[in-house]
Structure 1
Amino acid sequence: MFLLELLGNSILYAIGVYLLFNCCYLLFFSLAGHKKIKPLQVTVKKNRRICVLIPAYRENEVVLETSRAAMNHQYNGEFDVYVIADGLLPETVSKLKSFGVNVIEVFFEKSTKGKALSTALDQIPANKYDIAAILDVDNIMGSDFLQEVNNAFGAGYRVVQAHRTAKNMDSSFAFLDACNEEINNHIYRKGHFAVGMSSALIGSGMAFGFSYLKDLLKGIGETVGEDKELDFRIVKDQERICYLDKVYVYDEKIENAKVFTQQRTRWIAAQVEFLKKYAGEGVVQLVKHGNFEFFNKVVQAFLVPRVLLIGILGLFFLSSFLLPVGPSPLFWGIQLVMLSAALFIALPARFYKSKQLVQALVQLPYALFCMVKALFQIKKAKTSFLSTPHKVKSVSAEVNV
């Protein structure tokens, strides 16, 4: 009996310490996100040549809206728009060309965004552009996006991440997804950049030195998380990723549980993939090379997804009233308070003014169920390209920030 109690205590306290680390990490960077970021010091003032890359996988309607908006973007320098057409209809390709969009058609047995980008860059002359900006097929650039990206390169950066934000919040699930994205922006981008670390990439609304991106994409393979792979490769080079908090790219948010589950399946699969791939190297990079940034990326892969973390802590809190072993309810309750504080501190004030916030919070239990379901589907992400379907949506006035 004593041995069973000892084993139970050891397991539960070990889990408790791990979850406490999750809460401390999130709370620290949530608070750090309120630290003022110093303005960019632009030292080289010129308008660089930019290519805007839009990978499009079977999205015939949305890509027309996105590419038309991209072509109308205002930038003081030269820029061109490229759609990387994977499975687009011939008539869509014709319409894109009529807009003045450059179209690069790609064909893969198994499609991935990383392979599409790599193939496209191989077809564009290396000396034609200074910067490559990447948008998702549903993204709309904010009015000053390219100009501010250019300024960041003038300040010496080779990788830039803009503030991706919702262009639609027309359902409670879309509002919840928008909240989640803003919390991610605050903790993993603004919070890290404010304390002198690299922002995390988010997959779109980002820009790279053209030749540098070409090098980064070499051997990208069939990973389901090309942005995370780029993250690791960049910090291994000890390049700092700039975050432009006031420069926006508008992104369509998930409207229903089915698409939410599909998207989270891909994200969790990517997290597991990179934890396995880089866990050992993270320790080597820290101890041998002093590369804390690389180690930090491994730590991020080690964290529990936040919606799951809420559910797990809630479960342990309730079960602690019944179990004769393990930490007390106070221990789990403090962690729930810490996690709640981290999330509420990270959420922008404008979301608290919306009546949809309560409706979105009601969706949390269902979102938790979807996350659990996604855990059991991660093998699917390895065998098929789980692209997120999109609809044609304009940028809502209520989300302009």
Structure 2
Amino acid sequence: MEVIYSVLNFLFWLLGIYLLLNCCYLAFFTLVGLFTLPKSKTSAEQSRKIAVLFPTYQENVVIVESVKAALKHSYNGPFEVIVIADGLQPETLHTLKELGAQVIEVFFEKSTKGKAMKFAMNQLEGQGFDIALVLDVDNVMSENCLNYINNAFEHGQRVVQTHRTAKNMDSSFAFLDACNEEVNNHIYRKGQAVLGLSPALIGSGMAFEFEYFRNLLNNIGETVGEDKQLDFMIAKDRVHVTYMNDVYVYDEKVENAKVFTKQRTRWIASQVEFLKKYAFEGFVQLFNGNLEFFNKTLQTFLVPRMLLLGLLFVMTLQSIFNPFGPTVIFWAGLFICLCLTLLIAVPRRFYADRRLYIAMLQIPKAMIGMVVALFSIGKAKKSFMVTPHSNKPIDKN
């Protein structure tokens, strides 16, 4: 019996140390993220030709409005809006062409964003593009976005991630999702950039040197998380990614728990995929001096924050009655530390908005959604789990 007690005690302490390291990583980059980054500039001697890419899967209404907004964007140089059309209706394709967008149709038995972009980039080869900017179907660029990106490439950057932020906060869940987006920006982008590390790519609002992006996509393979795969490939190439914290791309946030769960299922599946794929190689790269790659690997070991919050709450409660492992003080301390970390990472402007406090009531529902997502990751490997979108106006409040 004593052996069983010793094993239980060891396992609870092992879990405690693992969750402590999770909290330390998040807290460290949250505090670092409080420091400022240099402001982006629009002036540049050369105006590069930019391909604004909209990979689109069965989104016939939203894509038309997004293309209209993109075509109106003011840029000092040449740019083209290119729709990578997967499953769009013929009338939608006709409308897009009439508006002035270049349309590249793709047909796959099993659709993925990575395959669609790979096909399109190879079709665009030879059209004189210098930069490729990837946007989601619902994304809208902020004023001078392309001029800021062009300036970054003038200074030798090869990959740039803009600040993706909420387009809409018109429901409690959307507001909660907007907060989550900004916490991600603070920890995984701004905090990393302050220390000179590359920010995590987010799947849209990311710009690449055209030919480099084409080469990356030709080697990306089939994956549910093309942005994470690109992250690791770029880190392995030792190419630095620049984060533009003051250049915005507006993105629609999910409005309910069902869509939230579906989206997170894909994200967790992606994290598990790359944890298995790169866990060992991350340590090999560290010994080869590639801290960037190792840091990306560390991020795959982290428990998703909403799950981490729920898990620490449960562990605090069980420690009141459970004599094994860390005491209630340890678990409660971690839970409070995580709560403070997240509160610091949420933008100050949100605290003046009463919608924040209403949105917090959705946290238990979001936790349940994450648990459901955790046990549904097999679905993400079998089908293209696209997030539904609608035409939402930009909420700048």
Q: Normalising by the residue count of structure 2, what TM-score does the alignment of the two structures yield?
A: 0.98
Map of 2:350 onto structure 1: 351
Q: CA deviation at 1:5?
A: 1.8
- Provide the alpha-carbon RMSD of the alignment: 1.2
Q: CA deviation at 1:45?
A: 2.8
Does the aligned pair in 2 maintain the 1:126–1:210 contact within 8 Å?
Answer: no
Does the aligned pair in 2 maintain the 1:165–1:178 contact within 8 Å?
Answer: yes
Distance 2:191 2:292 in 1: 14
Q: CA deviation at 1:221?
A: 2.5
Q: CA deviation at 1:44?
A: 6.6
Gaps (5+ residues) in structure 2?
Answer: none
Q: CA deviation at 1:337?
A: 1.7
Query: Do the aligned partners of residues 42 and 168 (structure 1) sit closer, same or farther apart at CA in structure 2, a change above 3 Å counting?
Result: closer
Does the aligned pair in 1 maintain the 2:220–2:226 contact within 8 Å?
Answer: yes
Distance 2:125 2:221 in 1: 22
Query: Do the aligned partners of residues 346 and 47 (structure 1) sit closer, same or farther apart at CA in structure 2, a change above 3 Å counting?
Result: same
Q: CA deviation at 1:8?
A: 1.1
Distance 1:41 1:266 in 2: 35
Map of 2:302 onto structure 1: 303
Map of 1:182 onto structure 2: 182
Map of 1:328 onto structure 2: 327
Q: Secondary structure at the match of 1:363?
A: helix
- Residue by residue over 1:33-53, the C-alpha shift from the partner in whole angstroms, topping out at 9 and shown as x without a partner, is 111213469997311110100
TM alignment of 1:2-401, pairs within 5 A: 2-39=2-39, 45-126=45-126, 128-287=128-287, 289-398=288-397
Distance 1:181 1:397 in 2: 15
Distance 2:396 2:13 in 1: 48
Distance 2:127 2:211 in 1: 8
Letter in 1 for 2:71: M
Q: CA deviation at 1:342?
A: 1.2
Gaps (5+ residues) in structure 1?
Answer: none
Between 192-201 and 39-48, the greater mean CA deviation after superposition: 39-48
Q: Secondary structure at the match of 1:81?
A: strand
Distance 2:345 2:167 in 1: 19
- Residue by residue over 1:34-73, the C-alpha shift from the partner in whole angstroms, topping out at 9 and shown as x without a partner, is 1121346999731111010001100000000000000000
Does the aligned pair in 1 maintain the 2:114–2:222 contact within 8 Å?
Answer: yes
Q: CA deviation at 1:4?
A: 1.8
Distance 2:396 2:209 in 1: 32
Q: CA deviation at 1:78?
A: 0.6
Between 219-228 and 190-199, the greater mean CA deviation after superposition: 219-228
- Residue by residue over 1:122-165, the C-alpha shift from the partner in whole angstroms, topping out at 9 and shown as x without a partner, is 10133511000000000000011101101111121100000000
Letter in 1 for 2:229: E
Distance 1:155 1:41 in 2: 11
Identity %: 57
Query: Do the aligned partners of residues 127 and 88 (structure 1) sit closer, same or farther apart at CA in structure 2, a change above 3 Å counting?
Result: closer
